[in-house]
Structure 1
Amino acid sequence: MQDSRKATVIGLGSMGWGAALSLLRAGFAVSGCDVRQDVLQRFSEAGGKACDTPAAAAQGAESVFVYVVNHAQVEHVLFGPQGALETAAAGTVFLLCTTMAPSATISISERLQAAGMLVVDAPVSGGHVKALSGEITVMASGTDEAFARAGAALDAVSAKVFRLGDRPGPGSQVKMINQLLAGVHIAATAEAMTLAAKTGIDLKTLYDVLRVSAGSSWMFENRGEHIVAGDYTPRSAVDIFVKDLGIVRSEAERTGGVTPLAATALELFVEASQAGLGREDDAAVAKILARKCGATLPGMEG
């Protein structure tokens, strides 16, 4: 039997963790699944039901949020051994929050629908702070029935849900464009801060000026602060943008789109990943530029 006040979150990373806690605050009974035992322990202490497998987590839930890293992991947690499809009841709503190529989202959605499930293509934006406060933005597409069943759960995790279509696919398309801008803005932030350091400008002063000036962006305000503090604790890692800008590149190639700025940003993220920075905060791409020009940023050895 399904319980309309029971939700599942598969993948308790920075965004999934925030969604799970937001659902708990809204009064849902929440089952969480993650490969990290320490995270499951913390989730249990926070009032959730910690589950070792997606199958265990999905049992009885009306809404299942999927917050793993990439489409291969989505396929594994849904269709693999002890995957969610082993226990999910017909009519369960699967909210696919992972950033994926639109073609991958459509393929996975078709498999779920063929198994009798409902699907909301639901990639998210806003960062871990807004995830913790239940104020993320959801770029969503799916049927009216899927939205109706998942409405209360979506309200619990988000400040704004954009309904972009009546089928899976458009949500992932819009998220892809968001990630193009986000990745380019992070790379531009890294370039600006590194040049400032090289020319002797005090980075904290620069940050205070630019964050209220025309050259600012949300990513400059957020990642620029990380660079000033020399804090590369991964809220969103370098390797995430290797994946996401790779999706932009493949989709541009498929459609004939022209994305020179995204291509340049992708090269920088790939270089950072290959230099061993893949699991650091994505602002760590600034370290690559600093090393190339001999600049020293906070958190780097002179």
Structure 2
Amino acid sequence: MSVSHSVSTPRVAAVIGLGSMGFGMALSLKRAGLEVLGADVSPEAVARFVSEGGRGFTNLPAEIGEAEIVVSVVVNAAQTETVLFGPEGIATKMRPGAVFISSATMDPAIARRLSARLEANGIHYLDAPISGGAARAAKGELTIMASGTHAAFAAARPALDAMAAKVYELGDAAGLGAAFKMINQLLAGVHIAAACEAITFAAKQGLDLEKVYEVITASAGNSWMFENRIPHVLAGDYTPLSAVDIFVKDLGIIQDMARSERYPVPLSAAALQVYLAASGAGMGRDDDSSLARLYAQLSGAQLPEKAE
């Protein structure tokens, strides 16, 4: 089946997955004037979205056919495939010519396969991983690394404009956006591990950690992840904004991709072991800055505790 190239001004969008990122993205779409359907398995997340004026569902809504744009912000490729083609999948319920914006981090080969399968149903597929965190999602200031056909970009444009400060158009084939995201995740995962290793090493030496943060963020050793994550450690607050298990998944994907290419990735492989250790120690659903807690447990270093 050929995909329709007709584009009209969208009135209704849907967001599948109302977690820390998806919730902000849904609110950004509402601010842009769209009616937004929001779906999540968590009744609390759905209730929160309804309180903001959205239409909420704890399952994949039959009303999905109303939406010209569907944004999927689930955890991984398996969940994305279930959303589309599972027993209650939306692929056969979406209107022809609508666009599915896939924001889950996944292997590029899987993105290509999902795209081909969905476009055979007359639906556009935009491979559009995201970066920026929950705060930027809520402000509509994400970075989106997107690839897909010209028609997919055209259909998705109102949502991209609402959700992102920067949209990188990386090519006309699904999988390119996913590949760029994996390069980002390699760096992000290694940088977080390095930041947590460094701040806990500083604690082991008895340094003033607030002063370490001040000095390093003004020095060459700084990174975006050090600047963003170490305040969690200083506050002793490991409420998950980005969980340890996300990098267990993402660095695992990188290992699989690298192995298939016979390409060595020793730094990300070492970082993966630290995330695995933290997850195995019961921190998998905690903030990824919890790697500092793991280093503290291994070394006897004392980190700040959360104020009561």
TM-score category, normalised to shorter length: over 0.9
Alignment partner, residue 232 of structure 1: 238
* Residue 147 (1) aligns with residue 148 (2): no
Q: Which letter does structure 2 place at the counterpart of 1:15?
A: M
- Which of 25, 37, 44 is the aligned partner of 1:38? 44
How much is the aligned-residue C-alpha RMSD, in angstroms? Answer: 1.2
Shift of 1:52: 2.6
Q: Following superposition of structure 1 onto structure 2, how do residues 1-302 of structure 1 map, counting pairs within 5 Å?
A: 4-56=10-62, 58-299=64-305
Quick one: distance in 2 between partners of 1:20 and 1:56?
18
Q: Tell me, what secondary structure is at the counterpart of 1:58?
A: helix
Whether the 8 Å contact between 1:33 and 1:57 is mirrored in structure 2 is: no
Whether the 8 Å contact between 1:55 and 1:86 is mirrored in structure 2 is: no
Quick one: distance in 2 between partners of 1:251 and 1:131?
28
Quick one: distance in 2 between partners of 1:13 and 1:83?
20
Quick one: distance in 1 between partners of 2:261 and 2:20?
32
TM-score by length of 2: 0.95
Whether the 8 Å contact between 1:139 and 1:174 is mirrored in structure 2 is: yes
Quick one: distance in 2 between partners of 1:266 and 1:5?
43
Q: Which runs of 5 or more structure 2 residues have no equivalent in the other structure?
A: 1-7
Q: Tell me, what secondary structure is at the counterpart of 2:147?
A: strand
Q: Which letter does structure 2 place at the counterpart of 1:109?
A: S
Quick one: distance in 1 between partners of 2:95 and 2:127?
19
Query: How many percent identity over aligned positions?
Result: 53
Query: Would you identify which runs of 4 or more consecutive aligned residues in structure 1 move more than 6 Å?
Result: none
Whether the 8 Å contact between 2:42 and 2:58 is mirrored in structure 1 is: no
Quick one: distance in 1 between partners of 2:304 and 2:107?
35
Quick one: distance in 1 between partners of 2:33 and 2:87?
31
Q: Tell me, what secondary structure is at the counterpart of 1:142?
A: coil
Whether the 8 Å contact between 1:55 and 1:85 is mirrored in structure 2 is: no
Quick one: distance in 2 between partners of 1:86 and 1:168?
20
TM-score by length of 1: 0.97
Q: Tell me, what secondary structure is at the counterpart of 2:144?
A: strand
Shift of 1:75: 1.0
Shift of 1:111: 1.1
Shift of 1:233: 0.4
Q: Which letter does structure 1 place at the counterpart of 2:201?
A: L
Shift of 1:90: 1.2
Quick one: distance in 2 between partners of 1:106 and 1:15?
23
Shift of 1:57: 5.1
Q: Which letter does structure 2 place at the counterpart of 1:61?
A: A
Q: Tell me, what secondary structure is at the counterpart of 1:138?
A: strand
Q: Tell me, what secondary structure is at the counterpart of 1:187?
A: helix
Q: Tell me, what secondary structure is at the counterpart of 1:159?
A: strand
Q: Tell me, what secondary structure is at the counterpart of 2:13?
A: strand
Whether the 8 Å contact between 1:3 and 1:61 is mirrored in structure 2 is: no
Q: Which runs of 5 or more structure 1 residues have no equivalent in the other structure?
A: none
**Superposed CA offset, 1:234-293 (max 9, x none):** 000000000000011000001111111000000000110011000000010111111111
**Superposed CA offset, 1:40-63 (max 9, x none):** 011011011102322435221111
Whether the 8 Å contact between 1:8 and 1:57 is mirrored in structure 2 is: no
Number of residue pairs the alignment of both structures matches: 299
Q: Which letter does structure 2 place at the counterpart of 1:280?
A: D
Whether the 8 Å contact between 1:58 and 1:87 is mirrored in structure 2 is: yes
Q: Tell me, what secondary structure is at the counterpart of 2:91?
A: helix
Shift of 1:3: 7.1
